[in-house]
Amino acid sequence: MFRFRFTIMMLLGLLTLLIVPYVGACGGLFCQNIPVDQQAERIIFTINDDDTVTAYVQINYTGSAHDFSWVVPLPAVPEVDVAEIASFDELSNFTQPMFIPPLMPECAPIPVPMTALSAAAESEFDDAGVEVLAQGTAGPFAFDVVRSDDPNALITWLRTNSYVITEQMEPLVRVYTDEGQVFLAMKLQPESGVQDIQPVKMTYAAENPVIPIRLTAVAANPNMSVLTWIFADAQAVPLNYAHPTIDERNLRSDFSTFGGTNYLSLVDQTVDLYDGRAFITEYAQTTTDFLINWRPSDPLVVELSREFDYMTRLFGRISPEEMTVDPVFTLDGDMPDVSNVRDLSGLDPEVFWNCDNTPIDIRFDPSALPSNR
């Protein structure tokens, strides 16, 4: 029996990777006449030395090419390019939490088989009062960058130029025009199909990375995952969201999930204490350590790891009614490194393996709030 349990434990050690399904992400944006079902967002940010931020945003879209449109508010006119989905996949695989469990005791329940989860032009005002700041193409996309002090004029312009803005979106467009934001609007070029869609790269003047999550609310699912990597000179932390940690003493085996732990449930319970407005640091290391330990092969991941000193992975879970404030990130060079490999071997085996149904104690931590950080 011991040999069997030891074998099971070793197999679990290989499978204890938390994998969250990333489907239908549109990054604070709209992608069709019915907003895309957003189960998750994946965004890569870089904080550059020239007072700019670069954002790489994954777009997953199902629908016809004719119906595709993608609109995002930004603080300044961006340079627009495209990237590859493989960059997101490699970062996700190398930085997701991994757990080393304690030895399985005799009292542990025998696990059942688990099922894996699916893995610039010169500006001018036109007659409608809308300022066209830039136009161009990038990969399969054609794009316009526009602004207006009149949200109704902007909405009319976008619709007239085949960018879909539904009635639900109208008040949210107004929020960003009131803040002086510009809008990047993209659609597929006539010769491009849905199969040609790529992640979008945007570089623009900004002090901090921001996720325009208020605009995401009309297309988001409950407990939508938001996963972002930030390459910079130091560790990144949320500026206006809470920054709690997961108490690893509450981690338990869970054979119903691929990954074998209740980690995702703990994330949900923890961020709910802060009304969904919280990010948890899952990985924070120097890029030198990342290159040595993981040996990435994706060209963009390698390039960013060589150009920047530090990489942070932050994870949040938020529902539409909680998306009232756009998360902003800043740098904090005093924060300790965070490994994505969590050694749980020192935990009480009978507790971890649910032998005695030890209760889980999730507590609100005021020090995690941004005002107290």
**Residue for token pair 């104690």:** 361
Q: How many CB atoms lie within 10 A of CB 33?
A: 14
- Measured in whole angstroms, how far is the alpha carbon of residue 97 from the centre of its chain? 15
Residues 6 or more apart whose Cβ sits within 8 Å of residue 357: none
Residues 6 or more apart whose Cβ sits within 8 Å of residue 74: 145, 181, 182, 183, 184, 202, 204
Return contacts of 187-192, CB within 8 angstroms, 24+ apart.
187/68, 187/69, 187/70, 187/141, 187/142, 187/143, 187/162, 187/163, 188/65, 188/68, 188/140, 188/141, 188/142, 189/137, 189/140, 189/141, 189/142, 192/65, 192/140, 192/141
* Structural contact between residues 275 and 307, judged by C-beta atoms closer than 8 angstroms: no
Which residues sit opposite 135 in a β-bridge? Answer: 144
pLDDT value for 164: 85
pLDDT value for 229: 98
Nearest Cα to Cα of residue 282 among 259, 300, 304: 259
Which residues sit opposite 55 in a β-bridge? Answer: 45, 202
Q: For residue 214, what is the DSSP state?
A: G
Cα-Cα-Cα-Cα dihedral sign, residues 247, 250, 254, 260: positive
* Structural contact between residues 67 and 32, judged by C-beta atoms closer than 8 angstroms: yes
Q: What is the DSSP string of 65-106?
A: TTT--EEEEESSPPEEEE--HHHHHHHHHHHS-EEEPPPPPT
Low-confidence ranges of the chain (pLDDT < 70): 1-39, 110-128, 256-259, 371-373
What is the pTM assigned to this prediction?
0.86
Nearest Cα to Cα of residue 326 among 29, 91, 113: 29
The encoded tokens of residue 224 equal: 């939508």
Q: How far is CA 357 from CA 54, 113, 250, 352, 360, in A?
A: 47, 21, 11, 9, 9
* Whole-angstrom distance, CA of residue 163 vs CA of residue 130: 14
Which residues sit opposite 286 in a β-bridge? Answer: 310
* Structural contact between residues 329 and 230, judged by C-beta atoms closer than 8 angstroms: yes
* Whole-angstrom distance, CA of residue 23 vs CA of residue 40: 6
Residues 6 or more apart whose Cβ sits within 8 Å of residue 27: 41, 43, 57, 58, 59, 72, 200, 211, 212, 216
